[in-house]
Amino acid sequence: MSQNMVEKLMESFDKLANCISVTSEVLARRSDVPKEVVERVNQYSDIVSKQRSLTGELREHLATSNWSEVTRHVRLINGLSAMIRDDAQDILSGAILEESSFKRSSLNS
């Protein structure tokens, strides 16, 4: 992994943080979104902050060629990304199921 890749990683965090911010704003304006979902999405910002911090440490370990710590930090960053991805998929799956259920009940009315 190079310093250039670390910069690209930081750029991806910027994009992700922007997406989270927009999503939070949209959800906050809707009255039909459970409070727990909004809170979960807002927690993603904390996760991205932790990823940024870990990436700063990763940069230092790259500079000193501390490969065991580079590997560890990459795994931690990837794990946090997986947490966001998996939780977002759960939220979307729940929303799709709720919408499908709502449509079926509307058709039966």
Question: Mean pLDDT lowest for which of 20-34, 51-65, 67-81, 90-104?
Answer: 90-104
**Rounded mean pLDDT of 28-57?**
91
Q: Where is pLDDT greater, at 102 or 61?
A: 61
Q: How confident is the model at residue 82 (pLDDT cuts 50, 70, 90)?
A: very high
Q: How many CA atoms lie within 13 A of 87 on its CB side?
A: 17
Host domain of residue 86: 3-107
Answer whether residue 27 shows pLDDT above 90: no
Q: Residue 32: its pLDDT value, please? A: 85
Mean pLDDT for all residues in the chain: 86
Look at residue 105 and give its three-state secondary structure: helix
Q: Residue 106: its pLDDT value, please? A: 53
As for how many domains the chain has, the answer is: 1
74-88 CB burial, b ≥16 within 10 A, e <16: bebbeebbeebeebb
Contact 7, 35 (CB under 8 A): no
Percentage of residues of the chain with pLDDT beyond 70: 85
Residue that has been written with the tokens 């960053």 in this structure:
77
Nearest alpha-carbon partner for 80 in 2, 5, 20, 35: 20
Q: Please state, in angstroms and as integers, the Cα–Cα distance from residue 108 to each residue in 96, 100, 103, following that order.
A: 18, 13, 9
Answer whether residue 109 shows pLDDT above 70: no
Residue 1: CB atoms within 10 Å: 15
Whole-model pTM: value is 0.77
